[in-house]
Amino acid sequence: MNEELLNEFKEQIIFRLDESSRMNMKSLALISEDDVWKRFNESSNSIGNLILHLCGNITQYAIASLGNKEDQRNRDLEFSTEEGYTKAELLNKLSGTVQEAKRTILEASQEEYLRKREVQGFNFSGIGIAIHVTEHYSYHTGQIAFWVKQLKNKDLGFYDGMDLTVKNKQ
């Protein structure tokens, strides 16, 4: 893999992580403290659980695995927690986790991106890890946005001011 291609890959991963962070900040600004821990039913997760889960997953994959640090994740706690964090605390935890992951992603060498390792029972290269972190963050960001739309019956305005009907240019 050439250095230019690896740098482009890293830049695109960072862009997507930043997009999900922006959307989560915008979503959480619209809900109350009580809304953070609401569940539709016993089979669903609260927004608080989803944020704790994102922090655990991003830490396990990007920070610990790609960054060659010890994996200390307690996945069950991410879903069993029902209180104990405010909106601001959850956003700060998520922001700090994403910032550390971005540093790890930017600093990882080509060798780390190509090296295979086992994470959560899966065998991934560093490239696979970066892709997983990005798509997993995006997936749960969509769930959070859906939750907020259900709670507030409101468009979240993620792309206000942009014309998304513009056709591609060759």
Instruction: Render pLDDT for 76-111 as a digit per residue (tens, 0 to 9).
Output: 899 988 999 999 999 999 999 999 999 999 999 999
52 CB-contact burial (10 Å; exposed 0-12 / middle 13-18 / buried 19+): buried
1 confidence band (pLDDT: 50, 70, 90):
low
Mean pLDDT within 29-53: 95
For residue 3, CA distances in Å to 11, 13, 52, 129 come to 12, 15, 34, 18
Instruction: Render pLDDT for 55-78 as a digit per residue (tens, 0 to 9).
Output: 999 999 999 999 999 999 999 899
CA–CA dist 127, 115 (Å, integer): 9
- Whole-prediction pTM: 0.94
Mean pLDDT within 14-39: 97
**Going along 60-153, which residue ranges are E strands?**
116-119, 122-125
- Could you tell me the domains of the chain? 3-152 (1.20.120.450)
CA–CA dist 13, 10 (Å, integer): 5
